[in-house]
Amino acid sequence: MSSPNPYQPMLDELKKTFESNVTKDLQWRKSTLKSMLKMFTEGDNLKLWVEARISDLGGGYAVGVHEIRSVVNEITHCLDEIDDWAADRHAGLGNPASEIEGKDKRVVRPTPKGVTLTIGAWNFPINLQFLPVVDCIAAGNCCFLKPSEMAPATAQMVEDMTKKYLPSNAIKVVQGDIPETTNVLALKFDHITITGSSSVGKIVMKAAAQHLTPCTLELGGKNPTFVDKSASVNLAVDRMVLAKTHNAGQWCVDLDYVLVDETIAEEFTDKVVTTVQRILGDEKAQTGEDIDVQQRWYNSIVNERNVQRLKALLEEDHGGEVILGGLDYVDEKKKFFPMTIVVNPNLGTGLMTEEIFGPIIIIKTVKDSDEAISTMKSICDTPLALYCYSNDDEYTEKVLMNCNSGTASVNTTSEQMASHTVPFGGFGESGFGSYHGKTGFDEYSHMRSILYRSNEHSNTYFPKAMQASGNVVPKAVIEGWMKQVNAAGL
């Protein structure tokens, strides 16, 4: 006989809370969101969150504050809009012949799904844990949180602060590694959200399939950057390098490799080198040892295992040229990996097949847009993000038309996902489902259609003549339907 799931009692409590209808009340949702706002802003809380993040990922205050700011913005946006989002959405009747003016109506009512599970990620352990949870609470759900064990200090903050500020009968946290996550995934949730690798996504989907549980998967991939000969090189490089240095390149929408037109390749490459040096300084400055923690920008790799993974990509006979950074400056014990630039590695090697997820910029020279597009498709044809730098509209639209991705931006890098006004999500191998703002509210709601019919007449979608017995559909009814079908023909 198998042992009972240790987390079933916690789930049962959340289900009981949901079935009491308390979370469906808009005032409860608003009050809970306001408590979450205090969780980040009250007293010294902001400082405590940032210090926990630094303990896990190094770096300084800038990245931590930036991460929390995105969560705070999501909370305030939901508070501003929740009344409109939760209201019935009126729809056409679709059968006007039976309508009594002002009496019959159809609506779509956003209905909370129930108990949701959000599995956080280590690279942005605050943002990626709480952004989906904000949307889940706004939609009226109970929430089960599983922080990443790879960011232990932040994971403990998630648990401690959640217990202190949020209702324990509606929001719970579970800590642990693979065994604990396996037990959690064996439970029957009403929606699961995870940010992670494609291999982890497959594990989650397999578990969710046992209960037919819908999922939101954010899985990343090798994100291409197209640089046309018409591009503004200085602007392009500044924006690319600033994005790549953020969190030491450890984020799912960061650029992975650059496909640059051969006519500007030398100018572009030289500019990347000088820009990295300008923003971060030399390899010694990049360690941040002589920079005040308040102002430090560049941070460390999450753990020694990931440093070793990045080293292995460079140690392979990749056929490219390392023109900045590289193995000589890596320090596994300090989890330090310098910003590194590799030019023209061979296709098929690790640098060109594996998601980098770290501070390595790969520059690949191409002849034209056709070669750039075919190269991208041979590497990963559905990345989470795609970037195009060009001042030629024809080039830009050709890339966007022929290359799929979860998100995209033109003449900038990574900014497309930093807004609650548009969906953020993957496509194909990079995942599916979207959240942020109203999209997130809708993602964690069931869109329930309701038809209200008047009692003032007996007419329905089915004509009154069909109410006779005898398994007979009157010829007039059939002829009327046939007339409607024929009238719709083109």
> Which residues partner with 331 through β-bridges?
336
- Rounded to whole angstroms, how far apart are CA atoms 487 and 490? 8
| Residue 159: inside a domain | yes
| Residue 274: inside a domain | yes
Asked whether residue 149 falls in the same domain as residue 207, the answer is yes
Question: Which has the closest alpha carbon to 463: 450, 451, 480?
Answer: 480
Per-residue pLDDT, 1: 62
311-360 pLDDT, tens digit per residue, is 999 999 999 999 999 999 999 999 999 999 999 999 999 999 999 999 99
Q: At residue 459, does pLDDT exceed 70?
A: no
Asked whether residue 209 falls in the same domain as residue 267, the answer is no
109-142 pLDDT, tens digit per residue, is 999 999 999 999 999 999 999 999 999 999 999 9
Per-residue pLDDT, 261: 98
Instruction: Please state the pTM of the whole predicted model.
Output: 0.93
Question: Which has the closest alpha carbon to 237: 276, 280, 277?
Answer: 276
Measured from the Cβ of residue 297, the count of other Cβ atoms closer than 10 Å reads: 19
Asked whether residue 157 falls in the same domain as residue 283, the answer is no
CATH number for the domain spanning 85: value is: 3.40.605.10
Domain with 367, as residue range(s), is: 224-418
Asked whether residue 253 falls in the same domain as residue 177, the answer is no
Asked whether residue 270 falls in the same domain as residue 404, the answer is yes
| Residue 1: inside a domain | no
CATH number for the domain spanning 367: value is: 3.40.309.10
| Residue 29: inside a domain | yes
How many domains are there within the chain? Answer: 2
Asked whether residue 293 falls in the same domain as residue 440, the answer is no
Asked whether residue 211 falls in the same domain as residue 318, the answer is no
Q: At residue 101, does pLDDT exceed 60?
A: no
Q: Which residues have a catalytic role annotated?
A: 218, 252
3-state secondary structure the chain: CCCCCCCHHHHHHHHHHHHCCHHHCHHHHHHHHHHHHHHHHCCCHHHHHHHHHHHHHCCCHHHHHHHHHHHHHHHHHHHHHHHHHHCCEEECCCCHHHCCCCCCEEEEEEEECCEEEEECCCCCCCHHHHHHHHHHHHCCCEEEEECCCCCHHHHHHHHHHHHHHCCCCCEEECCCCHHHHHHHHCCCCCEEEEECCHHHHHHHHHHHHCCCCCEEEECCCCCEEEECCCCCHHHHHHHHHHHHHHHHHCCCCCCCEEEEECCCHHHHHHHHHHHHHHHHCCHHHHCCCCCCCCCCCCCCCCCHHHHHHHHHHHHCCCCCEEEECCHHHCECCCCECCCEEEECCCCCCHHHHCCCCCCEEEEEEECCHHHHHHHHHHHCCCCCEEEEECCCHHHHHHHHHHCCCCEEEECCCCHHHCCCCCCEECCHHHEECEECHHHHHHHCEEEEEEEECCCCCCCCCCCHHHHCCCCCCCHHHHHHHHHHHHHCCC
Kindly report which listed range (209-218, 407-416, 452-461) carries the lowest average pLDDT score.
452-461
Asked whether residue 161 falls in the same domain as residue 190, the answer is yes
| Residue 115: inside a domain | yes
Per-residue pLDDT, 488: 80
Asked whether residue 160 falls in the same domain as residue 98, the answer is yes
Sorting pLDDT into bands at 50, 70 and 90, what band is 289?
Answer: confident
Q: At residue 467, does pLDDT exceed 90?
A: no
- Rounded to whole angstroms, how far apart are CA atoms 488 and 490? 6
Q: Are 383 and 222 in contact (CB under 8 A)?
A: yes
| Residue 453: inside a domain | no
Asked whether residue 388 falls in the same domain as residue 441, the answer is no
Angle (CA) 414-282-240 rounded to 5° is: 15
Asked whether residue 54 falls in the same domain as residue 135, the answer is yes
Asked whether residue 199 falls in the same domain as residue 244, the answer is no
Q: At residue 458, does pLDDT exceed 80?
A: no
| Residue 482: inside a domain | no
| Residue 147: inside a domain | yes
